[in-house]
Structure 1
Amino acid sequence: MQLTLTSQQNIENLRLILATDVGSTTTKARLFKKMENGEYRFISSGEAPTTVEKPFEDVTVGLKNAIREIEELSGYKLLAESTETSILMPFNGRDAGVDLYVSTSSAGGGLQMIVAGVVKTMTTESSERAALGAGAIIMDSLSIDDGIPLHKKIEKLRFLRPDMILLAGGTDGGTKTHVLEMAEVIRAAEPKPRFGVSYRLPVVFAGNKVAAPDIVSMLSEKFFVKVTENIRPVLEIENVEPARNIIHEIFMEHVMSHAPGYEKLVKLVSVPVMPTPAGEGKMMRTIAEAYGINVLGVGLGGATTNIYSVYEGKFVRSVSANLGMSYSIGNVLKSAGVKNIVRWLPFEINESELYDRVGNKMIRPTTIPQTLEDLMIEHAIAREAIRLGFQHHKSLARELKGVHRERTISDVFEQEVKETYIDMKKINMIIGTGGLLSHTPRRQQAALILIDAFQAEGVVRLTVDSAFMMPHLGVLSTVHPRAALEVLEKDCLVRLGTAVVFSGTSEKDKIIGHVQLKTGSETYSLDVRYGELYCIPIGLNVKANLQAKPESDFDVGVGKGKTVSATLDGGVVGVIIDGRGRPLTLPEEPDERKRLLLKWFSAINAYPLKVGEEI
């Protein structure tokens, strides 16, 4: 039921809100309520298997089961008495109905796209950022200059069955030859959509506006063509929002409507359904905008690793569709290599045993670690999945290619182009979400995984999503940002604490700086030694004044040797002082490395182990 939410007054009158995420394996429902003090809180949740497969082939069956669980737990009646799934609206003020129902979905593999452009490092890269920001998984990227022969391009397009194609190329008013050439390749290949052949595959054109009429006449016979604003109207500007919006719109109208039972889901929701990663990304942006900070986030799933950054107002999402913690765990091992996994383990394990354990996880993806060794192996693999995902993310979060820049004398000596515009010292918050990070047996484990995998620098807050609500809150924030932020603050984000990181290299055990932390009642002072990790127990809702004075060749975020003064938030872990240096390197010698890892784990009480203890 599409609602008319025209005025702020209508939005503020929302008393009971239902939000769901129809995932690829599980449908997750969450219920939010406006309390007597006017604040929104999370009150109940329900989960059920997603029903895309036979015999049901109807996502609303799983949806109904998840909502029923909320009904049983909360005492509210949310489903209407009918054979078809129907949600009672509005809330009656007592015990039945909701005022708003929103949903995200990644069932049936989510949104799968092909992007095509003219120049690989320019329009194709911009197209990738637009598609990823819209919540897509990119099946393949094609460009005129990618070196792939024409017949191979056509073969690729015929083999892949995307939900949509995004075509871009050329600046407005520039030459249209090359983008028309790419359109010709698409026309010749005539790829078919993933969900059957009963409808025309959507093609979004976001290139040179002069070429738009030719593109429409060339492709509209075989494809559903939608024209939007140019992604690169001039070389110096990247304009991805219009393309993202049109991708969302087409995803709803054309793609979702052909998946089993989605036409019923579309009729139930108050606002359009969003792809799950788009909901997650929207919440990351909402947090960054609300607090005026730079945010780095990771969604560590079973099959994929999503990395999000909101840096100086620029939002980028990347997805590593082959890196995950259950179905794709073997790919992490293959991509990272045994050596990179084993370096995080404080015990001996031979290569074949590691392969066996990872293989077991792949064939039984829902199992959880039964021993401390198993847990540490999963955490080592998680570090590498995030590291590799972030590496890929940085290749997208970079300055625009093809832009002419004024060069200074210093540039002549610094030929190397920066890998990314993200400066880790300027990241204010890292957010972790996904089963492994949300449900670590000890919160210290999640904090250390995030610090190690991202190689955090400077002064940065560490948080995790405790109840997998980021997608739900993201789609809710499109209607009611205040409600989404209040639930996030009170019921979703777990504040692990703050990391204070000394970047630089030195000799082992050498003093590299001094830290003083003052709360209302306590003062903590310590000399920071190179290679050491410290945890100061500053709890939740406690603020502390920090004075961090690094030695001349170390940096705590504002420059080498410069003192940092800041007010920090405590958390369930506390304030972690990281004197291990950056880049973070581990000893090659196995016994020395194991001893060091145990020392670090022990310093923050990450595992039930002591230095020198065998596992």
Structure 2
Amino acid sequence: MSNDIRRIVATDCGSTTTKAILIERNDTTGEYRLVARGEAPTTVERPFEDVTLGVMNSITELEEITETTVPAGFSAGRRVLLRDGRVWRQLKQGNRDTSNVGGPLDSSDLYVSTSSAGGGLQMMVAGVVKAMSAESAERAALGAGAILMDTLSVDDGRRDYQKVERLRQLRPDIILMSGGTDGGTKAHLIEMAEVVRRADPKPRFGDMKLPIIYAGNKDAAEDVGKVLGESIQLQVVANLRPTLDRENLGPAREEIHEMFLEHVMQQAPGYSKLLEWTSEEVMATPNAVGKLLKEYAENEKINVLGVDIGGATTDVFSVFLAPTGERIYNRTVSANLGMSYSICNVLKEAGVENIARWLPFEIDPAEVRNRLRNKMIRPTTIPQTYEDLLIEHAVSREALRLAFEHHKSLARGLTGSAQQRDVGQIFDQQASGQTLVKMMELDMVIGSGGVLSHAPRRAQSALMMMDAYQPEGVTMLTVDSIFMMPHLGVLSEHLYEAAKQVFERDCIVKCGHCVAPVGAGKEGEPMVTITGDGINETANVGDLKVIPCGVGEFKNVTITPTKNFDVGEGKGKARTARLEGGTVGIIIDARGRPFSVDLSTPNRVQKLRSWLQAFGLPLPK
């Protein structure tokens, strides 16, 4: 298949912008590379009400760019990529006759698309026990690219009439029901079905029946169907939790994807035409990002943490090796944490003191609060002064931290499962349902979203991620340069090698490896020494240091911590590593783990200014 495909067009229809990219196989190297990128406003709403108009406009920009600017190794001349979709429709049908199109066929060999226009996929989940079946349902919905509106459960503390009111208010696209192990409880599932039937919720789009996916106790499926009645379209799939110690999310996620295409996408203006054009099925934007990260982590045998921080929401993705030996993918959406529309929610949840603690200058917290309120009133504005930029970066640290805490609470083992435990674990609250996110085992962090991708300097992005996530051991810090992970995600399902090549060479920008020993000590005491390949650097407790090392440069080194610190081999034990540089260099973070800063920290402003200086960043006046 890959030998036949030379030119690929991919689009992402976002809520405000439709982004198109053109990927071609380089004539000289034989590798797939990004050739051009185009943007246009999304046209799903009035007065246009046809998403394909925005798609055509963004692809027309690709055609115009390639007429004047083509990188070395690619054939010059304007590409005719789109004629109202007729060329792609013919290719999809296996017809290369261009007589009814006019002119020679010069289209792409593959066209794929993702979408979150129209607000994306909005779901509610209903389970029996909030900490077990309902949590599994949340993981299934979030992993399928949904925005989770609410979670109902028998033990959530709400009365039936309150649940009915909530269902009527929210109008989800799809409801996912779960609960009970196979052969277990039926009564609670029937009770939840009665709540849904009484609410008689209507979907957001059209006058169709509301789709409900049932992924609970298989013995109760028939009874639940009878209770829900004819006004609901029920689809039964395999149980999410067939036993207490096993989770089976795949069938539910696949059904969510199918229903998203069949019900949500088909109702949005112009999507039926877009589905005719694409070579493969359209995928939800967050689902595509997750697909790319999961494929990349599994193929490269690494653990990955990704974040997309937007104006209204922050998505966190992770792929970690579980004790079972498989890599587990998790995604969470913090729908109230963002950098523009939701900036005051960050202020509310984090508190103004937690935001102000990251500012390398003295400022009244009330002034910070007022500036953020102004941003909420005018969400599309960008910082006009360096001081404004530093305040925005302080907010991003808190938004990233809060979203990460939320992610860790969901990305964990199964609560309620039986486990072999020794005496020392009997009193450990974390023994059951322990988080899968282990920072010492993390290999790569990928930062995406405006505040990270468009920071004036890559060092600012690296420092924000280090402060928010506090990586441990040895971790590569990267930034998604122009947010094309959704495009590459949907492509990876059909042509992984092409997606990987563009991802590594054109998508992510490596800032460099971060070495961060775990432990605490007195400020100024020796913490860690790195030696080898021309490097001989010692860092003391509280230091931040950058060793110059460019993109594509590698250093084989020995990392030796002092007796109270650990870099992955145990306290005081040395570790050999192959470190890679980047746009920042090799970073030594000797601030200790965990470390904290607050408004009362001695010499706080001086410390923050010294960290900026270590990264070569300008100081505020």
User: Normalized against structure 1, the TM-score is what?
Assistant: 0.94
Q: In the alignment, which residue of structure 1 is the partner of 2:308?
A: 299
Equivalent residue for 1:354, pick from 368, 374, 377: 368
SS in 2 for 1:422: coil
Q: Which amino acid aligns with 2:591?
A: R
Instruction: Note if 1:113 corresponds to 2:128.
Output: no
1:352 Cα deviation after fit: 3.2
Label 1:174 to 1:428 Cα distance change in 2 as closer, same or farther (>3 A). same
Q: In the alignment, which residue of structure 2 is the partner of 1:451?
A: 466
Q: Which amino acid aligns with 2:608?
A: L
Instruction: Note if 1:329 corresponds to 2:379.
Output: no
1:81 Cα deviation after fit: 4.2
The answer (yes or no) to whether the contact 2:138–2:148 under 8 Å persists in 1 is yes
Q: How does 1:220-231 map to 2 (within 5 A)?
A: 220-231=229-240
Q: In the alignment, which residue of structure 2 is the partner of 1:152?
A: 162
Instruction: Note if 1:541 corresponds to 2:541.
Output: no
1:413 Cα deviation after fit: 4.8
The answer (yes or no) to whether the contact 2:130–2:155 under 8 Å persists in 1 is yes
Q: In the alignment, which residue of structure 2 is the partner of 1:317?
A: 331
SS in 1 for 2:306: strand
Q: In the alignment, which residue of structure 2 is the partner of 1:128?
A: 138
1:366 Cα deviation after fit: 2.6
Q: Which amino acid aligns with 1:271?
A: E
The answer (yes or no) to whether the contact 2:480–2:507 under 8 Å persists in 1 is yes
Q: In the alignment, which residue of structure 1 is the partner of 2:269?
A: 260
SS in 1 for 2:132: helix
In the TM superposition, what whole-angstrom CA distance separates every residue of 1:196-226 from its partner, at most 9, and x where no partner exists? Answer: 3x10111001111111222233325011111
Q: In the alignment, which residue of structure 2 is the partner of 1:232?
A: 241
Instruction: Note if 1:59 corresponds to 2:59.
Output: no
Equivalent residue for 1:389, pick from 403, 406, 412: 403
Q: Which region of structure 1 is more displaced relative to structure 2, 94-103 or 445-454?
A: 94-103
Distance 1:51 1:138 in 2: 25
Distance 1:290 1:94 in 2: 39
Equivalent residue for 1:210, pick from 198, 207, 219: 219
Distance 1:362 1:94 in 2: 51
Equivalent residue for 1:402, pick from 407, 416, 441: 416
Q: Which amino acid aligns with 1:116?
A: A
Question: How many positions carry a matched residue from both structures?
Answer: 595
Distance 2:614 2:399 in 1: 24
Instruction: Note if 1:22 corresponds to 2:36.
Output: no
Distance 1:379 1:65 in 2: 33
Q: Which region of structure 1 is more displaced relative to structure 2, 14-23 or 417-426?
A: 417-426
Distance 1:415 1:478 in 2: 39
The answer (yes or no) to whether the contact 2:87–2:105 under 8 Å persists in 1 is no
Q: In the alignment, which residue of structure 1 is the partner of 2:483?
A: 468
Q: In the alignment, which residue of structure 1 is the partner of 2:183?
A: 173
The answer (yes or no) to whether the contact 1:516–1:525 under 8 Å persists in 2 is yes
Q: Which amino acid aligns with 2:263?
A: H
Distance 2:538 2:217 in 1: 59
SS in 2 for 1:48: strand
1:591 Cα deviation after fit: 6.8
Label 1:80 to 1:560 Cα distance change in 2 as closer, same or farther (>3 A). closer
The answer (yes or no) to whether the contact 1:89–1:97 under 8 Å persists in 2 is no
1:123 Cα deviation after fit: 0.3
The answer (yes or no) to whether the contact 2:353–2:598 under 8 Å persists in 1 is no
SS in 2 for 1:334: helix
In the TM superposition, what whole-angstrom CA distance separates every residue of 1:97-134 from its partner, at most 9, and x where no partner exists? Answer: 11111111111110000000000000000000000000
1:94 Cα deviation after fit: 8.7
1:251 Cα deviation after fit: 0.1
Distance 2:300 2:429 in 1: 36
Q: Which region of structure 1 is more displaced relative to structure 2, 85-94 or 431-440?
A: 85-94
Q: Which amino acid aligns with 1:217?
A: K
Distance 1:219 1:516 in 2: 67
1:434 Cα deviation after fit: 1.1
Distance 2:456 2:201 in 1: 47
SS in 1 for 2:358: coil
Q: Which region of structure 1 is more displaced relative to structure 2, 92-101 or 471-480?
A: 92-101
SS in 2 for 1:121: coil
Equivalent residue for 1:38, pick from 30, 38, 55: 30
In the TM superposition, what whole-angstrom CA distance separates every residue of 1:263-320 from its partner, at most 9, and x where no partner exists? Answer: 2211111111111111111111122012100101101111110001100100000000
The answer (yes or no) to whether the contact 2:527–2:540 under 8 Å persists in 1 is yes
Equivalent residue for 2:514, pick from 499, 513, 534: 499
Distance 2:154 2:48 in 1: 44
Label 1:364 to 1:510 Cα distance change in 2 as closer, same or farther (>3 A). same
1:253 Cα deviation after fit: 0.7
Label 1:86 to 1:337 Cα distance change in 2 as closer, same or farther (>3 A). farther
Instruction: Note if 1:482 corresponds to 2:497.
Output: yes
The answer (yes or no) to whether the contact 1:60–1:85 under 8 Å persists in 2 is no
Identity of aligned residues (%): 53
Equivalent residue for 2:425, pick from 395, 411, 426: 411
In the TM superposition, what whole-angstrom CA distance separates every residue of 1:9-44 from its partner, at most 9, and x where no partner exists? Answer: x34311111100000111100110012232111101
1:415 Cα deviation after fit: 4.3
The answer (yes or no) to whether the contact 2:356–2:599 under 8 Å persists in 1 is no
Q: Which amino acid aligns with 1:168?
A: S
Distance 2:90 2:31 in 1: 21
Distance 2:398 2:468 in 1: 7
Q: How does 1:515-554 map to 2 (within 5 A)?
A: 515-518=530-533, 523-554=534-565
Distance 1:500 1:330 in 2: 34
1:141 Cα deviation after fit: 0.1
1:79 Cα deviation after fit: 4.9
The answer (yes or no) to whether the contact 1:516–1:548 under 8 Å persists in 2 is yes
Equivalent residue for 2:593, pick from 566, 582, 587: 582
SS in 2 for 1:120: coil
Distance 1:263 1:557 in 2: 52
Distance 1:477 1:490 in 2: 15
Distance 2:86 2:369 in 1: 45
Q: In the alignment, which residue of structure 1 is the partner of 2:71?
A: none
